[in-house]
């Protein structure tokens, strides 16, 4: 066996590996484009739903003007409740003040 035959035995598997790597690199671009297209479709669908929900709320508001007044009366109560919850959450710490160490 000559030196050239040994070199060919090493070189041929490497060229096959390089061919596979090159194919993967070529497909990576299309894979990224497909992923971006799917993400764009999801974002468009989310925006469409958001617009539809807004239209429904506006339609309901125009249909029932008295209900809007009731919502305005309820809203300050819920805001005050939200403020109380925030204050309670800020006062409670997950571990500070829960246990007192008498041993030290």
What Cα–Cα distance (Å) separates residue 7 from each residue in 14, 19, 74?
11, 18, 84
Q: Do the domain assignments include residue 81?
A: no
* Gap between the Cα atoms of 73 and 67, Å rounded: 10
Q: Do the domain assignments include residue 52?
A: yes
> Total domain count for the chain?
1
Domain interval for residue 37: 14-62
Q: Do the domain assignments include residue 82?
A: no
> Is the whole model's pTM more than 0.85, yes or no?
no
Residue 16 is predicted with a pLDDT of: 76
What Cα–Cα distance (Å) separates residue 23 from each residue in 16, 26, 74?
11, 5, 62
pLDDT tens, the chain, 104 aa long: 565 777 767 666 777 788 888 888 888 888 889 999 999 999 998 888 888 888 887 877 777 766 656 666 666 667 777 778 777 766 666 676 667 777 76
Residue 75 is predicted with a pLDDT of: 61
CA 24 to chain centre: 27
* Gap between the Cα atoms of 22 and 34, Å rounded: 19
Q: Do the domain assignments include residue 40?
A: yes
């Amino acid at each position: 066996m000559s030196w050239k035959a040994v070199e060919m035995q090493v070189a041929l598997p490497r060229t096959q590996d390089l061919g596979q790597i090159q194919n993967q690199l070529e497909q990576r671009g299309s894979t990224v484009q497909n992923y971006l297209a799917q993400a764009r479709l999801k974002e468009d669908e989310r925006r469409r739903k958001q617009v539809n929900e807004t239209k429904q709320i506006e339609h309901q508001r125009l249909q029932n003007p008295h209900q809007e007044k009731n919502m305005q009366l309820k809203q300050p109560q819920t805001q005050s409740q939200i403020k109380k919850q925030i204050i309670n959450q800020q006062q409670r710490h997950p571990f500070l003040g829960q246990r007192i160490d008498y041993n030290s």
